[in-house]
């Protein structure tokens, strides 16, 4: 006869891989950084991916690779794109771990 262990009340284990949000990358053809990284489209795309961004801390590289996998710089420099992304993350309520080009962003709701 097999007995099932009695769970301790209030000690339910959480599976960190259950219900993990999936990023929604920007899609389209002829995506140019000058169009994607304008204030409104960038804020809208970050809002669309808010659950994924808030799930755990991520670096700017991870965010850019997951949400913006393919775009043409089209006259912009990569450091300019990164600066716009970092500023938008800050405006959305995330806090960087440090002030270099690839900080780890944590959701703080602007605290």
Question: pLDDT tens digit string along 25-69?
Answer: 998 888 999 999 999 999 999 999 999 999 999 999 999 999 999
- What pLDDT score does 20 carry? 78
> Mean per-residue pLDDT for 80-102?
94
Residue 86: band (very low, low, confident or very high) from pLDDT cuts 50, 70, 90: very high
Dihedral angle at the C-alpha atoms of 50, 96, 25, 14, nearest 10 degrees?
-50
- What pLDDT score does 5 carry? 61
CA 58/CA 89 separation, integer angstroms: 11
Place of tokens 């169009």: 35
């Amino acid at each position: 006869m097999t007995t099932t262990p009695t769970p301790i009340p209030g000690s339910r284990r959480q599976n960190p891989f259950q219900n993990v949000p999936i990023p929604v990358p920007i899609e389209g053809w002829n995506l140019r950084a000058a169009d994607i990284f304008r204030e409104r489209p960038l804020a809208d795309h970050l809002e669309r991916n808010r659950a994924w961004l808030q799930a755990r801390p991520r670096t700017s590289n991870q965010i850019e690779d997951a949400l913006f996998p393919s775009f043409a710089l089209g006259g912009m420099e990569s450091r300019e794109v990164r600066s716009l992304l970092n500023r938008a993350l800050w405006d959305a309520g995330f806090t960087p771990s440090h002030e270099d080009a690839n900080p780890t962003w944590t959701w703080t709701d602007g605290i």
